[in-house]
Amino acid sequence: MDKLIRQDADAIAAAMEAYASQKGPMSRSGANLVAQLPTPGLETGEDLAELTTLLQSGVSDSHSMSKAFMQSHESFVHSILTSPSEATGCYIAIPGFAGPTGDGWMAPPPPGQENYLTLTLLLAHPLSRGSVHVTSSSISPSAVAIDPKYLAHPLDLEIMARHLRFAEKIATTEPLASHLVAGGKRNPSAPPAGSFADLNVAKDYLRKTAVGAHHFTGTCSMMPKDLGGVVDAQLRVHGCRNLRVCDASIIPLTPRTNPQATVYGVAEHAARMIRAGL
């Protein structure tokens, strides 16, 4: 992927030619491996005790949701965090340099001709919740205040830092280690190899570099009204008989990473319900 990312003319021509017969890098996702993994460290009693303390100290500063909702959200996420068979992190391997810029776009690879491997981490069940508010009665895209509040909940950073520490362990352990150049180049903003063993370094790196994955959900959640919900199980807006919402906004809790398949499911569900009522 690196030659494509560097806009190498020969690599682009070869990829275009392959795509004409629906093959090559342009015919598939940029990622070549995806893994859903439970919270690292659950297997040792010590880590479990540490995690339990963290769970108990987790406090939400979300002003956009009701207390009842936050309690039930925390209880759901906590059940996932302590389960060895439920994933809290999604690891995506990309055979190339895929560092984000601060505004969420992709940064070009550092100067040179090296090949890179990128491990991207997604928090599967974030507790942080943002808000969307209309700021004026005029119909304009700029009349909306969007605040995603990434990593606002302290537990999100703790969990992500543990996944980051584990990702570095994967990269320095066989079978992956021998595919990488020992002491080779890293993301320019990353600390020296091995630094993420210190969770504080991992958290600091995440605070500086983590970006959103454009997986916005939950602004018109399908939930009871007293929990802060907007639509009922039939996708009808509470208090209205014939107004339905059908898109990613009705998903109350972000699904485990990529939401597009769930959006298709919501659309199928809506089509069936509406057809049945005709």
Chain positions 97 to 116 lying near ligand FAD, rule: CB under 6 A, are none
Give helix then strand counts, H and E, for the chain.
7, 5
The minimum distance between CB 246 and ligand FAD, in angstroms, equals 8
**10 Å Cβ neighbour count for 252?**
19
In sequence order, what are the beta bridge partners of 119?
A: 93
How far apart CA 163 and CA 176 sit, in angstroms, is: 17
Nearer to ligand FAD, 30 or 41 (CB): 30
- C-beta of residue 227 within 8 angstroms of C-beta of residue 66: yes
Nearer to ligand FAD, 190 or 246 (CB): 246
Asked whether 160 and 213 are in contact (CB, 8 A), the reply is no
Which of 155/222 has CB closer to ligand FAD?
222
Minimum CB separation of residue 106 from ligand FAD in Å reads 10
Q: Which residue is nearest to ligand FAD (CB)?
A: 260
Residues 90, 252: Cα–Cα separation, whole Å: 20
Q: Which residue of 63, 179, 208, 214 would you call a contact of ligand FAD, by CB under 6 A? A: 214
Concerning whether 238 is annotated as a catalytic residue, the answer is no
Nearer to ligand FAD, 80 or 246 (CB): 246
Q: Is the preceding peptide bond at 175 cis, omega within 30 degrees of 0?
A: yes
**Which CB sits closer to ligand FAD, 209 or 258?**
258
Instruction: Name the active-site residue from 133, 215, 238, 269.
Output: 215
Closest distance of CB 166 from ligand FAD, Å: 23
Q: Which of residues 227-266 bind ligand FAD (CB under 6 A)?
A: 247-248, 258-260, 263
For residue 209, the minimal CB distance to ligand FAD (Å) is 18
Q: Which of 149, 215, 244, 256 binds ligand FAD (CB under 6 A)?
A: 215
Instruction: Give the nearer residue to ligand FAD in terms of CB position, either 42 or 273.
Output: 273
Q: What is the CB neighbour count within 10 angstroms for residue 100?
A: 17
DSSP category for residue 164? H
CB of 215 to ligand FAD, least distance (A): 5
Number of residues that make up the chain: 278
Q: Is 269 in the site for ligand FAD (CB under 6 A)?
A: no
Q: Rounded to whole angstroms, how far apart are CA atoms 188 and 167?
A: 17
Distance of alpha carbon 39 from alpha carbon 37, whole angstroms: 7
Task: Pull the structure tokens for residue 75.
Answer: 């209880």
Question: Tokens at residue 89, please?
Answer: 């992190």
Going by C-alpha positions, the residue among 37, 197, 216, 187 that lies closest to residue 121 is 37
- In the complex, minimum distance from the CB of residue 213 to ligand FAD, in angstroms, rounded to a whole number: 7
Instruction: Please work out the total of residues on this chain that contact ligand FAD, with binding judged by CB under 6 A.
Output: 8
Positions that interact with ligand FAD (CB under 6 A): 214-215, 247-248, 258-260, 263
Active site residues: 215
